[in-house]
Amino acid sequence: MSTQILIIVFAPLVAALIAGLGNRMIGNVAAKSVTTAGLFLAAGLSWPIFLGFLSGTATPEVVPVLKWVQSGTLTFDWALRVDTMTAIMLVVINSVSALVHLYSWGYMEEDPDQPRFFAYLSLFTFAMLMLVTADNLVQMFFGWEGVGLASYLLIGFWFRKPSAGAAAIKAFVVNRVGDLGFMLGIFGTYLVFQTTSIPAILEAAPAMSGSTITFVGMRLYTMDILCILLFVGAMGKSAQLGLHTWLPDAMEGPTPVSALIHAATMVTAGVFMVCRLSPMFETAPTALMLVTIIGAATCFFAATIGTTQWDIKRVIAYSTCSQLGYMFFAAGVGAYGAAMFHLFTHAFFKALLFLGAGSVIHAMHHEQDMRYYGGLRKHIPLTFWAMMAGTLAITGVGILGVFGFAGFYSKDAILEAAYARHNGAGQFAFWAGAIAALLTSFYSWRLMFLTFWGKPRWDQSEHIQHAVHDDHGHGDHAHGHDDHHHAHASDDGTAGYHPHESPVSMLLPLGILSLGAVLAGFVFHTQFIDSASFWNGSIFYNEGLIHAMHGVPLWVKLTATAVMLIGLAGAYVAYIAKPDIPGKFVGTFGALHNFVFRKWYFDELYDAIFVKPAFALGRAFWKLGDIGTIDRFGPNGIAWVVERSSVAAKAIQSGYVYTYALIMLLGLVAAVTFVLL
């Protein structure tokens, strides 16, 4: 397995270096070919490892790469850990990344910077692989920061577009806030355990239960403090409530970026980290309660916003935020297997939805506003069926004991685990998750109905006609060389859209991901949820909780299906049967709608509390400190003194001999006077 894992991890890095350094010298086709081939090789080698752990034939292994740091008591090597957790993530990361690479052949076809784009994609994949194969916390942090860098590069890929640059900076800054907590958690963990080795820390963690440490002048439980600090890092990377504001803005990057980073891989890094360190979190009940509450709150909060957005990508972005909340509260109640299972299924159906949305945007000449869609199922039927599979999966459609789509198994397991926990945080999470499931069903079917059903709304749209002449279109490709919406003019001079199905390179990934959305839950749920041997010690497996999950009342098991049907019915009535209802609702509850539509005013709040004061402080230092003090009394002040002195000196430099003779005489008199006195 050692050679296999080395190829899996380093193939994307080699491909990224070739495409990035070769760039336009090797050309688009060569750059795309080498990166896509590298990822399909990595994905092809990842599946046998995963299936080996699934069947019980594979054993955990650590593959050394090189000696890294030896400084006093601090020693760690670069080594790749391969166990069940790693195997799951290898399949998710490499499979989705390979399909995104292939999809991007069609989607980015018109872009002049394709080698750079594909190099960034492969670099991101390598950083993510570093994170999930980490055998120690420092290597995990290396991968953690690597995906942060790569996401910054990908979100701001169209750097000539001001909104893309702003979104990239926002993602980078918000993640630095979370990463400060993660760094403090790593420092504290080393201080307590005198090692950064993950297996050594997890083995020693139970013995530290109940111990205390002084933190910010208070005596607090050691493990609670360490786990809360580590969770702050997870909140930033996985966009949990409070540090979530970067994720929706990250949609400024190309759609394939959204599918790779903001659905399947980077945003799940926080969930992976909490599950990887689950034996540590199990010794920290306060931290687990915090994880549960924040996860459940995020789940509900993001789902409410998803119901009001018009941009197709933003709806799916808030959906991602909400689904991550499910994963966290599953981990918080101790159902780490269910959390990882939802991570696994979510990767397939959410990547499918993002790439499906990209196909719709491509068909609609880069229009992203769902108000100008409608009736598209007849024009792009393959995209429609792919997105239908994704929608059935995310809303959790299924029949208990018979068959269900991917989300049916993983989401239901999470709700059952929260209910079975029988504590306050668990009950809060169950009800928040149930309401979020209703809202998820509503906004997912709202997206489908607005996009694929009803009358076409693109021909009559003044918005579209305006966009044709608007050199600053807000579409996915609105950047540098491609600043318009490519609408076609019809004979009468009005703007007319002609939706078209996407090329094969975009449809093939949709078809493969559709299989995952349909079958991933049904095929794998027994191993993920019920099999302790499958996990083989790679997470904390709570047998008692699993038994309690299966013993919950029938109404609990049916809750997710019931709320899914209510959400579906609500969306059908509001957007198909009686399409005037949303307008009436907004008219009646305008303040509530505005509050949710404006994302609970988090951006405005942060702008008032952090951004404007920071700018004001910066301006004060600039105007008063830099210009008013340093420049005034420094270089400008010295220059002024020299200038004044030169003017004075110039007055006595007349050039007449008698003037100089007089000055010499006066100087001599002064000198004699000084000596005599």
Q: Which residue reads 């076809």 in tokens?
A: 109
Range of lowest pLDDT (32-46, 361-375, 461-475, 530-544)? 461-475
This prediction's pTM: 0.86
Q: Which residue reads 């991933």 in tokens?
A: 520
Q: What's the mean pLDDT in 386-390?
A: 93
Q: What confidence tens digit (pLDDT) does each residue in 318-344 have? A: 999 999 999 999 999 989 999 999 999
Max CA distance (Å), the chain:
120
**In degrees, to the nearest 5, what angle opens at C-alpha 471 toward C-alphas 368 and 611?**
70
Q: Which residues contact 466 (CB under 8 A, 6 or more apart)?
A: none
Task: Quickly state the pLDDT bin for 499 (edges 50, 70, 90).
Answer: confident
Q: What pLDDT score does 224 carry?
A: 92
Q: What pLDDT score does 477 carry?
A: 43
What does DSSP assign to residue 493? S
Q: What pLDDT score does 537 carry?
A: 85
The per-residue pLDDT of the chain, averaged, comes to: 86
Highest averaged pLDDT of the listed ranges 292-301, 354-363, 652-661: 292-301
Residues shown for the chain: 677
The token duo for 188 is: 């504290």
Task: Quickly state the pLDDT bin for 486 (edges 50, 70, 90).
Answer: very low
C-alpha 369/C-alpha 449 separation (Å) is 13
Contact 273, 140 (CB under 8 A): yes
| Phi and psi, residue 219, nearest 5° | -95, 115
Q: Which residues contact 379 (CB under 8 A, 6 or more apart)?
A: 363, 499, 500, 501
Q: Strands 398-399 and 403-404, how do they pair?
A: antiparallel
Closest alpha carbon to 373 in 453, 446, 316, 307: 453
C-alpha 518/C-alpha 645 separation (Å) is 85
Check pLDDT > 90 for residue 209: no
C-alpha 34/C-alpha 114 separation (Å) is 12
Q: Which residue reads 């990887």 in tokens?
A: 276
Closest alpha carbon to 85 in 232, 271, 346, 361: 271
Q: What confidence tens digit (pLDDT) does each residue in 140-178 have? A: 999 999 999 998 999 988 888 888 888 999 888 899 999
C-alpha 413/C-alpha 349 separation (Å) is 17
Closest alpha carbon to 9 in 63, 55, 53: 63
Task: Quickly state the pLDDT bin for 481 (edges 50, 70, 90).
Answer: very low
C-alpha 583/C-alpha 475 separation (Å) is 25
Which uninterrupted H or E stretch holds 133?
Answer: none
What residue spans of 495-634 are helical by DSSP H?
504-525, 532-535, 543-550, 554-572, 581-588, 590-597, 602-606, 612-620, 632-633
Which uninterrupted H or E stretch holds 192?
Answer: helix 162-193
Q: Render the burial of 304-342: b for 16+ CB within 10 Å, e for the rest.
A: bbbbbbebbbbbbbbbbbbbbbbbbbbbbbbbbbbbbbb
Contact 248, 320 (CB under 8 A): no
Check pLDDT > 90 for residue 599: no
Gyration radius from the chain CA atoms: 30
| Phi and psi, residue 530, nearest 5° | -105, -10
Task: Quickly state the pLDDT bin for 498 (edges 50, 70, 90).
Answer: confident
Q: What's the mean pLDDT in 655-676?
A: 88
Q: Which residues contact 105 (CB under 8 A, 6 or more apart)?
A: 32, 36, 505, 506
Would you call 76 helix, strand, or coil by DSSP? strand
What residue spans of 56-113 are helical by DSSP H?
84-107
The token duo for 611 is: 């951004």
Q: What confidence tens digit (pLDDT) does each residue in 291-313 have? A: 999 999 999 999 999 999 888 88
C-alpha 257/C-alpha 115 separation (Å) is 15
Would you call 75 helix, strand, or coil by DSSP? strand
Q: What percent of the chain lies above the pLDDT cut of 70?
A: 94
Q: What pLDDT score does 564 carry?
A: 93
- Amino acid (one-letter) located at 632: R
Give the chain's end-to-end CA distance (angstroms, integer).
99
Task: Quickly state the pLDDT bin for 229 (edges 50, 70, 90).
Answer: very high
